[in-house]
């Protein structure tokens, strides 16, 4: 033939293989231009929706829409098809036969029926995929139909029981449930269910009898079936189908397409088509089945040096380049070819290059690691790490006060600061949720900036805050100083903030007034502790509902000390840059820059008003006269309209006199002059007294005034704060500037 002829022949073979491969990928199931699915059910030929798409009228199906708007594939008599298999099965939904009675044994015609199904002669009830099942404690049922040659067939079974005592779930042996195998070639079926005693003896737990044909593995009998089956209308069932029948079949005109063969039906007359080995697709289509690429299966031609080559209907194995067949041991193996001198030289040079590359990379990593260690050490010293270590060494129990975490520990705890672990953002930094090696869940605060000139003060604050051990203050566990900006590690509080529970619509009314009053009392107790029990005293400076966390029992936890200041023991106020959140800021502090404990009292008063009204401290969405909640609330109190501004469920749950007490307390906290405000210790005492009154419903405020006064603490006159002590001004270079947070004002 010559070289040119061989080349042309090879080209044509390649084109044919390419076309066959492309066709094999598609595997069509229907004739061209015919719909191949309906309602999620595939419609393979010989079935079809219209003439020209099905083999003959026996295989005609319809695509309909039910009353609920759901698309369904059906055959005559509106029988729903759920699956059509090219292996000769069709799944349908078959009716259940019911036989129901009322308590007096009168037949319930509305819930009783027989079940029958007469399909074309190509369909027979699958004897391998189905069972005939009867369920009931006073039931017998019949299954009638026809076998090949129109021979009548009838069978039945009964199930009885007088109680549920001996019923075994999953068993259909005759006690409340019986099951029978089906014969070959059964069609045109009718199912009837009957009763021995009209269910009068078992009506309390079994008012009906049921009979049905069910697909194997889709129904498991239980005691509940005695009642639940009453509400079911259909059960899954399987029919076998075949092409033609013995009466009309022309043995010389099989319709099976290419690369397929015919096989006789094993459930009645007719035949089915089947793809030859190595082929896949719809064997009923004219072009038949397509070749399967066996080389996709990794188990074919498995072994070192072997490769798979797909051929029509099969595959063959060969050796890849550099290997050759070795059949000396009686087993086909691919053995590597011995390399030449040039190849060995090339391999040697390559290995040498890899060794040099690995060594260079190793040295580079060592240098980089040393630079990283030096950088961490510089950050550690810059952030006051040496000062903190020195101070901790002087403490008797330094490990219980504050721990110095490494950067690696916190990176691992937060999955390298994964954004999905962010649980909060604020004006002073970002908070991540982390898990320590001992499985403790913590909150890790990554600040935005730090003043290098106030490192020693920062270290002192870390030491003081870490020593605070109060049930209503979030515990500071330690810090990390190896990063450019220090990281603070706090205990994790899982239940969100008070702000969320007050202002989110889904949670606004889920906390009772009694719980809100307890949260207020606990918050006041925590602030009182910071002002009077901590040494030195601590002014929080950013008290707001979003800085009050709630644990799993809704216990209040004061958090976020990013703006807090320590008060020297010889001073009562500090001159400082104004910081805080608009809506909560003490107006006297904003005007004078003089920070005192009474600034926290004012902010707490705003939180009390939030609890009472369910409104935000500041909202630009409200009219101008209502934007500041504090001013708006005071105006309502002056007009004696307290109950018009209270949140609905608070006004409904709380006692009027107690609500007025809390409102008046909030009013005193919101006094424009700090000297007119009570201390946090006095606020905490009064709130705790109110809590005790709430918990003891037997207290009558009018008749037990002395006891009530004892529970509430001193009278309001005792809340007047002495202004005799003079402030000691501390120089602050940014005194005339203001930093504040809008805190969701819009």
Tell me if 281 is assigned to some domain: no
Tell me if 38 is assigned to some domain: no
pLDDT of residue 567: 63
Express each pLDDT in 321-342 by its tens digit: 888 888 776 677 888 877 767 7
Which of residues 624, 651, 677 is at a domain's end?
A: 677
Same domain, 515 and 485: no
With CA atoms as reference, report the closest residue to 424 among 444, 448, 407, 450.
444
Q: What percent of the chain has pLDDT over 70?
A: 82
Residue numbers of the domain that contains 325: 302-338
Express each pLDDT in 262-288 by its tens digit: 998 888 888 999 999 889 999 999 988
Nearest-angstrom CA–CA distance, 444 and 368:
27
Residue 25: band (very low, low, confident or very high) from pLDDT cuts 50, 70, 90: very low
Q: Give the torsion sign (CA, 166, 171, 177, 180).
A: negative
Same domain, 485 and 509: no
Contact 616, 745 (CB under 8 A): yes
Q: Which of 401-405, 423-427, 548-552 has the lowest mean pLDDT?
A: 423-427
pLDDT of residue 148: 85
Please state the rounded mean pLDDT for residues 110-128. 90
Asked if pLDDT for residue 351 goes beyond 60, the answer is yes
Contact 111, 185 (CB under 8 A): no
Same domain, 416 and 486: yes
Residue 350, classified by CB atoms within 10 Å of its CB into exposed (0-12), middle (13-18) or buried (19+), is exposed
pLDDT of residue 724: 31
pLDDT of residue 738: 43
CATH number at residue 450: 3.30.200.20
Express each pLDDT in 672-687 by its tens digit: 999 999 999 999 999 9
Tell me if 54 is assigned to some domain: no
Tell me if 244 is assigned to some domain: no
Asked if pLDDT for residue 46 goes beyond 90, the answer is yes
pLDDT of residue 452: 66
Express each pLDDT in 631-665 by its tens digit: 989 998 998 888 888 988 888 888 889 999 999 99
Q: What kind and span of H or E run contains 318?
A: strand 314-319
Asked if pLDDT for residue 400 goes beyond 60, the answer is no
Higher pLDDT, 339 or 309: 309
pLDDT of residue 321: 83
pLDDT of residue 2: 44
Nearest-angstrom CA–CA distance, 184 and 742:
81
Binding residues for ATP: 446
Asked if pLDDT for residue 249 goes beyond 60, the answer is no
Please state the rounded mean pLDDT for residues 578-589. 86
Indicate the pairing of strand 115-117 with strand 403-404: unpaired
pLDDT of residue 713: 44
Tell me if 715 is assigned to some domain: no
CATH number at residue 531: 1.10.510.10
Asked if pLDDT for residue 735 goes beyond 50, the answer is no
pLDDT of residue 741: 54
Indicate the pairing of strand 476-480 with strand 403-404: parallel
Same domain, 580 and 477: no
Of 542, 560, 600, 743, the active-site residue reads: 542
pLDDT of residue 633: 92
Same domain, 125 and 213: yes
Asked if pLDDT for residue 491 goes beyond 80, the answer is yes
Q: What percent of the chain has pLDDT over 90?
A: 41
pLDDT of residue 212: 97
pLDDT of residue 87: 92
Same domain, 457 and 581: no
Express each pLDDT in 123-172 by its tens digit: 999 999 999 999 999 999 999 999 988 899 999 999 999 898 889 999 99
Express each pLDDT in 161-215 by its tens digit: 989 888 999 999 889 999 999 999 999 999 999 999 999 999 999 999 999 999 9
Total number of domains constituting the chain: 4
pLDDT of residue 702: 45
Same domain, 426 and 460: yes
pLDDT of residue 268: 85
Same domain, 313 and 207: no
Tell me if 151 is assigned to some domain: yes
542 is catalytic: yes
Mean pLDDT score of the chain = 82
With CA atoms as reference, report the closest residue to 498 among 488, 506, 508, 513.
508
Same domain, 556 and 666: yes
Contact 138, 209 (CB under 8 A): yes
Nearest-angstrom CA–CA distance, 638 and 485:
49
Which of residues 677, 701, 736 is at a domain's end?
A: 677
Tell me if 506 is assigned to some domain: yes
pLDDT of residue 601: 95
pLDDT of residue 746: 34
Express each pLDDT in 83-103 by its tens digit: 999 999 999 999 999 999 999
Same domain, 449 and 397: yes
CATH number at residue 306: 2.10.25
Question: Which range, 3-12, 69-78, 571-580, 595-604, has the best average confidence (pLDDT)?
Answer: 595-604
Express each pLDDT in 406-456 by its tens digit: 888 999 999 998 989 988 876 667 889 999 988 999 999 887 666 666 676
Backbone angles phi, psi at 621, to 5 degrees: -80, -15
Residue 142 CA: distances (Å) to CA of 133, 229, 467: 10, 18, 83
Same domain, 393 and 534: no
Longest dimension (CA), the chain: 125
Please state the rounded mean pLDDT for residues 544-550. 91
């Amino acid at each position: 033939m010559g070289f040119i002829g061989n080349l042309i022949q090879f080209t044509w073979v390649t084109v044919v293989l390419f076309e066959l491969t492309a066709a094999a990928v598609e595997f069509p199931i229907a004739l061209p231009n015919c719909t191949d699915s309906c309602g999620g059910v595939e419609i393979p030929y010989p079935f079809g929706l219209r003439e020209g798409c099905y083999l003959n009228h026996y295989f005609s199906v319809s695509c309909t829409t039910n009353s609920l708007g759901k698309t369904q594939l059906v055959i005559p008599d509106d029988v729903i098809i759920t699956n059509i298999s090219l292996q000769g099965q069709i799944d349908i939904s078959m009716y259940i036969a019911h036989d129901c009675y009322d308590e007096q044994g009168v037949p319930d015609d509305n819930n009783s029926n027989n079940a029958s199904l007469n399909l074309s002669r190509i369909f027979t009830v699958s004897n391998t995929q189905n069972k005939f099942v009867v369920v009931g404690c006073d039931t017998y049922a019949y299954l009638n139909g026809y076998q090949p040659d129109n021979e009548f067939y009838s069978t039945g079974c009964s199930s009885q029981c007088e109680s549920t005592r001996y019923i075994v779930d999953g068993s259909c042996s005759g006690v409340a449930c019986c099951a029978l195998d089906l014969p070959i070639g059964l069609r045109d079926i009718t199912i009837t269910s009957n009763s021995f005693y009209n269910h009068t003896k078992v009506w309390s737990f079994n008012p009906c009898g049921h009979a049905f044909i069910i697909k194997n593995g889709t129904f498991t009998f239980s005691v509940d079936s005695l009642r639940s089956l009453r509400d079911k209308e259909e059960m899954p069932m399987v029919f076998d189908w075949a092409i033609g029948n013995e009466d009309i079949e022309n043995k010389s005109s099989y319709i099976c397409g290419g690369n397929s063969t015919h096989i006789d039906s094993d459930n009645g007359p007719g035949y089915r088509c089947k793809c030859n080995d190595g082929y896949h697709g719809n064997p009923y289509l004219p072009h038949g089945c397509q070749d399967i690429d066996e080389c996709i299966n990794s188990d074919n031609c498995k072994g070192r040096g072997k490769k798979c080559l797909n051929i029509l209907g099969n595959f063959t194995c060969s050796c890849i380049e550099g290997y050759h067949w070795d059949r000396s041991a009686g087993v086909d193996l691919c053995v590597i070819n011995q390399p030449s001198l040039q190849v060995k030289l090339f391999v040697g040079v390559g290995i040498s290059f890899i060794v040099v590359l690995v060594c260079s990379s190793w040295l580079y990593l060592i240098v980089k690691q040393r630079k990283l260690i030096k950088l961490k050490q510089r950050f550690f010293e810059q952030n006051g790490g040496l000062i903190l270590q020195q101070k901790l060494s002087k403490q008797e129990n330094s490990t219980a006060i504050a721990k110095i975490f490494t950067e690696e520990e916190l990176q691992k705890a937060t999955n390298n600061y994964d954004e999905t672990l962010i649980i909060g953002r604020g004006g002073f930094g970002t908070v991540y949720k982390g898990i320590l090696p001992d499985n403790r869940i913590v909150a890790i605060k990554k600040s935005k900036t730090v003043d290098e000139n106030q490192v020693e003060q920062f270290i002192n604050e870390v030491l003081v805050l870490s020593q605070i051990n109060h049930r209503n203050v979030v515990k500071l566990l330690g810090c990390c100083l190896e990063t450019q900006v220090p990281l603070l590690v706090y205990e994790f509080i899982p239940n969100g903030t008070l702000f969320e529970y007050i202002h989110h619509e889904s949670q606004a009314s889920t906390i009772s007034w009694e719980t809100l009053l307890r949260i207020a009392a606990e918050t006041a107790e925590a602030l009182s502790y910071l002002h009077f029990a901590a040494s030195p005293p601590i002014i929080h400076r950013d008290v707001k509902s979003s800085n009050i966390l709630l644990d799993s029992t809704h216990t209040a936890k004061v958090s976020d000390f990013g703006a807090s200041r320590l008060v020297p023991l010889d001073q009562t106020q500090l001159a400082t840059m104004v910081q805080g959140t608009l809506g909560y800021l003490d107006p006297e502090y904003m005007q004078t820059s003089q920070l005192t404990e009474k600034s926290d009292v004012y902010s707490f008063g705003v939180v009390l008003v939030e609890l009472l009204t369910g409104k935000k401290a500041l909202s630009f969405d409200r009219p101008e006269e209502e934007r500041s909640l504090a001013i708006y609330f005071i105006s309502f109190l002056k007009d004696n309209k307290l109950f018009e501004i209270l949140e609905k469920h608070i006004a409904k749950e709380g006692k009027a006199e107690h609500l007025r007490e809390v409102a008046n307390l909030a009013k005193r906290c919101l006094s424009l002059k700090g000297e007119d405000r009570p201390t946090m210790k006095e606020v905490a005492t009064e709130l705790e007294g109110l809590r005790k009154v709430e918990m003891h419903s037997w207290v009558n405020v009018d008749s037990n005034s002395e006891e009530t006064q004892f529970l509430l603490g001193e009278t309001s006159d005792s809340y007047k704060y002495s202004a005799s002590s003079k402030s000691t001004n501390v120089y602050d270079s940014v005194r005339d500037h203001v930093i504040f947070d809008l805190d969701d004002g819009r």
